[in-house]
A and B are shown apart, each in its own frame.
Chain A
Amino acid sequence: MLTAADQGWLSDPVESGSAAGFGVYLHVPFCAHRCGYCDFATSDRHAGLIPRYVTALRTDIQRTVAGGPAAATGWPQVTSIFVGGGTPTLLDAGDLAGIVALVGSSLPLADDAEITVECNPESLRPGLFEALVDAGVNRISLGVQSFAGHVLSFLERQHTPDKPAETVAAARQAGIAQVSLDLIFGTPGETATDWHEALVRALELQPDHLSAYALTVHDNTRLGRQVAAGERPAPDDDVQRDRWDTAREVLGAAGFDHYEVSNWARTPSRRSRHNVLYWRHGDYLGLGVGAHGHLRGRRWWRTRSIEGYVDAVEAGRSLIAGSEQVTIDEQAEERLLLGLRLREGLHPRDVPPLTDEVVQDAADAGLLQLSCGRFQTTEQGWFLLDETVNRLT
């Protein structure tokens, strides 16, 4: 059943670019344990830097708001804030809440802004969610990953399979409005039953949103090196496809809206507003270690080194480790590769000029369709997105 909110910003008009909204991403790079598959800017060896990092991140927010790319013309209204990691909940609850609150007080914030904090089940502690709710946090994204002990252990996750239920209950109790769960599928050793059960148990927690990611082995990670050395098996593409099909089936039957390759929402209004912004090629600030920002075709990023970042903030040096001006053509290419991730697809005016020939070729291969005047992948073309985009560009 669609609510009034479902008819709101998410549905119509579906805009690419700046019209899609304006988000703020904050990165917290600390973890109690760095998992072997992780390729984010995270560390389990820098806990001693946490107090300095909190101060640095606050300074980063203030400096960016005062001197950032839109400081002179006025900042757009913030429609979403996302605190990701790492493990943001490793921070003191008050510090974490303070950071969120500082963004809210420094920039114009939409009344219905989505404010998400990523959490790990093992970091549940009394008072955490209450403090976050007080600071305006209305959504958590919980790193469940699996309900099978042997899968959690392959992934080196630190929690037990029963912990997520407890955490979700605590969050709801404290007044967190929306709960999203992260799952990983296709881990070597995971059986079809393991995965089916993970989906069922996740649904029992009545989440508002679910992300289900195929385990990806990155070369520059410990797992990547282990796989390359033959010490651990690599995930199997066919198995991952089977798992994805299962997720579509189980979550679809439960009434979830499969709106992006790896993301499902209980109703359209429960889609991740912040992440939709990325896929609609919207604008966002990226603050903290390794974070990327994007504003109308200009992209910039912070260093991935925690020490480097803290030092630069404390010394008053520039925090921009690199930047690029994405050309008009490249922007169109990005909109295509991002927009086709979404079920809604994108309007022909937002994609690079495509010849009838390549569109026909992708359609003939069963990858692409034109539906309601928009380019969309077919069911088949969705999980073959790279092939689809390659054929089009």
Chain B
Amino acid sequence: MTYPLERIRNFCIVAHVDHGKSTLADRMLQLTGLVDPRKMRDQYLDRMDIERERGITIKAQTVRMPYEPDTGPWAGEGEFLLNLIDTPGHVDFSYEVSRALNACEGALLLVDAAQGIEAQTIANLYLALDAGLEIVPVLNKIDLPAARPDQVAREVCSVIGGDPDDVLRISAKTGEGVQAVLDRLVGLVPHPVGDDEAPLQALIFDSVYDPYLGVLVYFRVKHGRLRKGDKIRLMATGFESEVDELMVVSPEPVAVDALGPGEVGYLSASIKEVSQAKVGDTVTLADKKRRAEHALPGYREPLAMVYSGLYPIDSDDFPLLRDALDKLRLNDASFTYEPETSAALGFGFRCGFLGLLHLEIVQERLDREFNIPLVTTAPSVRYRIKLEPEAISVEEPQEIEVSNPQDLPLPNKIASIWEPTVKAMILTPNEYVGAVMQLCEGRRGALLAMDYLTEQRVELRYKLPLGEIITDFFDQLKSRTRGYASLDYERDDYQESDLVKVDVLLNAEPVDAFSAIVHRDSAYEYGKAIVAKLKELIPRQMFDVPVQAAIGSRVIARETIKAKRKDVLAKCYGGDVSRKRKLLEKQKEGKKKMKSVGSVDVPPEAFVAALKVGSGGREISGS
């Protein structure tokens, strides 16, 4: 069935993690009769196990829902087509979010009536406003005893304007008010506009690798018409191929012959890897006469923010790891990797990620889908090093970029070190403003602005070094505000800073994988904290192991892991024998997971120990 433009509404949901987006989507699927209640499962639209387990959306998803409004200006006017484009909700994926928003005309702003609006939501909301979307505010979870809808409605209106009484109040869990949301969407969200006769321009808002079909490209047609069998061209990559399948999701895939302006669907076209069909790219026709002249605006290459070294624990696994990264890259165009060597860890890869969540997801997928035991080094950012002209030869570049602390040149060759910064937005209840400011200042933050959204809720804007927030900043923020503060940030410029490399020596041998670049003022504290942490994480060996932190040749902190003196079961009688045998077998497995550095067995967790040690050397409590 085809729908005229006037009968189509494309919308997304802007919400914070846990504010009920997936539940609301589930409810909409039921209400529009698309999913039989008996076949319903939670988070119907989330495809990956990781998404369901963590309750987050990583990949965008779309579903089309035919719907006849009951109330509002279009009541009794027959059927409309609602396209929901479900977007990722995490700061790491804000570029992906912005592309998905550009595929819509409206955004449903979903806010937890108990928790209030969060920084991430506001950041995404600004993206939606920038994209010119009509905002439909909705308060969810009004069934909760802690809900305070009047206050939160005022909060929402202080950001987007409007009358608090107009804000819809629903419970996605019970289904209360969900129908009114659909009616409001039909009534408020403008229908798409587009020229059916113009050359094809379709915006790619996600691409997903499928092992059987190749890459599935999710798009929204802006102008023109795409038909099955068309030869297409992806404008940024220049990739050309023939459309094998043209599908819509409803919510199971349904084949269609053509999609016109305003319509949303996906195609397969023998595309081998997602880097050939990047988010934000424009689909047009390959035929030079029918090709669009310009790509849709807003495309950019994914930008890695955080870097980490991945090393196989067993060096024989290196080719396996390379294959796994190649395969992962097929469906994740936004992470990068290049081989590197560590004296301590052997051959591995330096990988770039959009952020820490992205790093964790890649790590988890490597473990889950490829089962290669890995060591991950502490995350780092990319520094710019200006070199001392007198210390280098004329052929050498004046400036280099370093994402691995071990690549930092010797101090006498460095003229200055520049580090990336971010502009961070933090929303917090006003009673925690002091705690948040203390945290940000401890991380070398510079306050840019402070605004009261309501009497209770404050928006703080800081400029912060990226390297200071990629480890435990978010955890600290949460623990200092009892979970109430939220954070969003965007990349800013580079600033010159007084940074030094702190090395760690294990049993008098420097271990390059433990090196970190930190600010000179916190180097001493950091050194103390990292050696204490390593002492705790590295099991006692057969001999005393000194652990030292050093700047250059100057040792700034030292601990000793004492030799172990007891490792035996006190009692071993009849019932204990097979248990003991199995226990020893398990220990052997555990030992296989240890990385032998010099003559010391180091558990993989130790390599991310710096994650648990703030860059200022603050020891992080809890787990």
Contacts and interface: CB of A to CB of B under 8 A. Distances in A.
Interface of A: 25, 213-216, 237-238, 240-241, 244, 261-262, 275, 278-279, 284, 286, 290-294, 299, 301, 324, 326, 330, 333-334, 337-338, 341, 365, 382-387, 389-390, 393
Contact of B574 (A291, A324, A389): A291
B245 to A, nearest CB: 52
Contacts of A330: 581
B570 A261 contact: yes
Contact of B542 (A238, A382, A387): A387
Contacts of A365: 542
A326 B567 CA distance: 25
22 contacts: A213-B571, A216-B571, A238-B562, A238-B566, A262-B571, A275-B573, A278-B573, A284-B574, A291-B575, A324-B578, A326-B578, A333-B584, A334-B577, A337-B572, A337-B581, A382-B568, A383-B568, A384-B566, A385-B567, A385-B569, A386-B567, A386-B587
A137 B542 CA distance: 45
A216 B570 contact: yes
Nearest to A245: B565
Nearest to A212: B570
B572 A338 contact: yes
Contact of B577 (A238, A262, A294, A387): A294
Nearest to A241: B565
A261 B569 CA distance: 9
Contacts of A292: 574-575, 577
Secondary structure class of chain B's binding surface, majority of residues:
loop
Given A261-B570, A278-B573, A386-B569, A237 B564 contact: yes
Contacts of B574: 25, 278, 284, 286, 291-294
A390 B591 contact: yes
A390 B588 contact: yes
The range of chain B's interface size is 20 to 34
Contact of A213 (B542, B566, B570, B581): B570
Given A286-B574, A387-B542, A337 B580 contact: yes
Given A294-B574, A387-B542, A393 B584 contact: yes
Contact of A393 (B577, B580, B588): B588
Contacts of A216: 569-571
Contacts of A293: 574
B570 A337 contact: no
B405 to A, nearest CB: 34
A333 B568 contact: no
Contacts of B584: 333, 337, 386, 389-390, 393
Contacts of B573: 275, 278
Contacts of B587: 386, 390
A393 B587 CA distance: 11
Contacts of B567: 383-387
A279 B580 CA distance: 13
B593 to A, nearest CB: 14
B622 to A, nearest CB: 13
A383 B566 contact: yes
A389 B569 CA distance: 12
Nearest to B581: A334
A68 to B, nearest CB: 16
Nearest to A41: B575
Nearest to B582: A330
A103 to B, nearest CB: 16
- Max count, chain A CB within 10 A of own CB: residue among B573, B574, B580: B574
Nearest to B565: A241
Given A337-B584, A386-B587, A390-B587, A262 B570 contact: yes
Nearest 10 Cβ contacts at the A-B interface? A241-B565, A292-B575, A385-B568, A213-B570, A237-B566, A214-B570, A386-B567, A292-B574, A384-B567, A241-B566
A338 B577 CA distance: 8
Contacts of B575: 286, 290-292, 301
Interface in B521-574: 542, 562, 564-574
A344 B68 CA distance: 87
B564 A384 contact: yes
Contacts of A301: 575
A40 to B, nearest CB: 8
Interface in B312-348: none
A176 B254 CA distance: 86
B569 to A, nearest CB: 7
B577 A341 contact: no
A386 B568 contact: yes
A238 B565 contact: yes
Nearest to B541: A387
Contacts of B569: 216, 385-386
Nearest to A185: B570
Contacts of A237: 564-566
A261 B568 contact: yes
Given A238-B566, A334-B581, A385-B567, 16 more contacts: A25-B574, A214-B566, A216-B570, A237-B565, A241-B565, A244-B566, A278-B573, A284-B574, A291-B575, A292-B574, A334-B578, A387-B542, A387-B564, A390-B584, A390-B588, A390-B591
Contacts of A326: 578
A229 to B, nearest CB: 15
A369 B318 CA distance: 38
Interface in B583-602: 584, 587-588, 591
A301 B576 CA distance: 11
A294 B574 CA distance: 8
Nearest to B578: A299
Nearest to A330: B581
A219 to B, nearest CB: 12
B565 A341 contact: no
A390 B584 CA distance: 7
- Max count, chain A CB within 10 A of own CB: residue among B562, B570, B581: B570
- Max count, chain A CB within 10 A of own CB: residue among B569, B575, B578: B575
A284 B574 CA distance: 8
Contacts of B578: 299, 324, 326, 334
Contact of A383 (B542, B562, B565, B588): B565
A215 B573 CA distance: 16
Nearest to B588: A390
A297 B573 CA distance: 15
B195 to A, nearest CB: 68
A292 B578 CA distance: 10
Contacts of A390: 584, 587-588, 591
Nearest to B579: A292
Contacts of A279: 572
Contacts of B542: 365, 384, 387
Contacts of B581: 330, 333-334, 337
Nearest to B543: A365
A286 B581 CA distance: 19
